[in-house]
Amino acid sequence: MIIAIYSFLAVLVGAFFGGMGRWALATKPGGVIGTFIANTIACIVVGWIASQTVEKNVDVIIHVAAGTGFAGALSTWSTLAKELGEYIRVKHYRMFWGYLVLTLGGGIGGIMLGAYVGAVT
């Protein structure tokens, strides 16, 4: 029971800071650049925390605070979907595909970078 309370509080604290980061990136630089940065940073955090959990047996509280709370609140896949949908609506297909590929590449690269940094630290 106590681990559930600690996990809830860890997600709450992580989500607070992730949400603040998301708000800051939505404000400046905002738009698709802010969304891209937020999602890429969230992927870096997820890669890092996953490598720490597997390689170094990090406490589950840190895992849920950083992975579920912070990265979950920082990332914004719904905004990405809205922005991609807007590119389709206005028939900017090159921007759609460019943004989609860049975001997927940034996410995969971010996970790999986070995992690498987590493994060597």
Q: Is 7 annotated as a binding residue?
A: no
**Two structure tokens written together for 61:** 């509280």
pLDDT at residue 61, as a whole number: 86
Contacts of 109 (CB under 8 A, 6+ apart): 40, 43
Q: How many domains does the chain have?
A: 1
Distance of CA 112 to the CA centre of its chain: 13
Our CA angle for 52, 35, 77, nearest 5°, is: 70
Question: How high is the pLDDT of residue 63?
Answer: 85
Residue 78 annotated as lining a ligand binding site: no
What does the pLDDT profile of the chain (121 residues) look like in tens digits? 788 899 999 999 999 999 999 999 999 999 999 999 999 999 999 999 888 876 566 778 888 899 999 999 999 889 999 999 999 999 999 999 999 999 999 999 999 999 999 888 7
Q: The whole model's pTM is what? A: 0.89
Domain ranges, residue 76: 2-120
User: 25: helix, coil or strand?
Assistant: helix
- Residue 113 pLDDT: 97
Question: For residue 55, what pLDDT is reported?
Answer: 59
